[in-house]
Chains A and B, each alone.
Chain A
Amino acid sequence: MNMIHKIIYPCEKATRHLIESDDVKLTSLQKLRIRIHLIICKNCTRFNIQNKWMDKQIKKLSFESSNEKMEDCCKERIANALKKEINS
């Protein structure tokens, strides 16, 4: 481990904590180390912005229902299986 990484997180760890921070309560020290990392690392700052943006897009897409219909032959197959179960 580099000397510098004893003080600030390496990018791999910083980005992981950025993702975790949505769900996991980070300690004050962890938050501070991330903040310092983001001040000096433009790549992780970019990742942070893009990660938050991806989260928003995922949320949007997950609420958008697709209108794909099940094929009629498949519905018929399932209907027959269900009918068999009902009549047994």
Chain B
Amino acid sequence: MHSLNPNKWIDNYADYLYNYAKTRVSEKEVAEDLVQETFLSAYKARENYQGRATEKTWLISILKNKVIDHYRKTLVKDPEISGRKETPISFFSQDGAWDLDHVGTDWRIDASSQLESVEFKEIFKKCVSNLKGKSLAAFQLKYIDFEESEAICKALNISPSNFWVIIHRAKLNLRNCLNKNWFDQI
């Protein structure tokens, strides 16, 4: 059985939790606040800790819920962030065929050495963080946290079909961003 040692939390887990939060919310200040809230909530809920999971796992599960709450609050508070005021790129024409500007080009994805480069990884991460509002939230939860679609729909209060529309758009935007910033440049 594991035990809690709140006096050591900052030294042992602050950087780890900060990295976890920063990957998901992008903004430094928000990530810091989420870590602080996590420690405070964990301390208040210490009676509920049963010692089955390690301290680290327990703290991460609290932070994970904080991140989801953050997504939810941001989406409700700001209609612009929720995606309603976005002017989306038209990837398809009205009859559902590809828009000629967005059919894309073949990627040289066999050139693995370049794709392993720090520069490419930075561009990839930037393209992910360019996603906005629900797209970013749904994408992060599905592909970074490996959450079940059903749980994501519940957390973000969206229907399953809306979820797939959002993920579809997110993937198209990500591909478009990679095309523009990497594959069209090499």
Contact = CB atoms under 8 A, between A and B. Distances in A.
A5 B95 contact: yes
A78 B10 contact: yes
B174 interface: yes
Contacts, number: 108
A85 B6 CA distance: 11
Nearest to B148: A23
B168 A11 contact: no
Contact of A54 (B149, B165, B174): B174
Contact of A85 (B18, B19, B32, B40): B40
A82 interface: yes
Residue of A65, A77, A78 contacting most chain B CB atoms (<10 Å): A78
Interface of A: 1-2, 5, 9-13, 15-16, 19-20, 23-24, 43-44, 46-47, 49-51, 53-55, 57-59, 61-62, 64-70, 74-75, 77-79, 81-82, 85-86
* Cβ-closest 10 pairs across A and B: A10-B96, A12-B96, A70-B18, A12-B92, A16-B168, A43-B103, A58-B143, A78-B36, A62-B144, A79-B10
